[in-house]
């Protein structure tokens, strides 16, 4: 009986932890006091990943453009006709 309860509690806490990483996407709760770049406020919560999207995006762009390939290499791989077609509305 104890191993079954322990397994259930373990599964439940892991599931809750993964959900808290990604959800809710927007801040949920009373926005009385909220610290910058943190998922929690005084009475509310936002997923950790949605909270950190801007710093993660900046860091990813820096890594890709400085360490993986240059802007010249990136733009050389693009097909101008296909890019123009994708950017046009409709």
pLDDT at 26: 86
In the chain (90 residues long), the average pLDDT of successive 10-residue segments reads: 93 92 85 77 83 89 83 84 87
What pTM value is reported for the model?
A: 0.53
Residue 41, both tokens: 């406020």
pLDDT at 49: 85
Sign for the pseudo-dihedral over CA of 83, 60, 38, 51: positive
């Amino acid at each position: 009986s104890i191993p079954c309860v322990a397994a259930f509690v373990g599964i439940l806490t892991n599931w809750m932890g993964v959900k808290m990483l990604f959800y809710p996407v927007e801040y949920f709760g009373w926005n009385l006091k909220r610290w910058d770049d943190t998922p929690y406020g005084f009475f509310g919560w936002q997923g950790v990943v949605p909270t950190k999207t801007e710093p993660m995006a900046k860091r990813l762009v820096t890594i890709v453009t400085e360490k993986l390939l240059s802007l010249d290499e990136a733009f050389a791989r693009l097909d101008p006709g296909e890019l123009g077609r994708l950017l046009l509305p409709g």
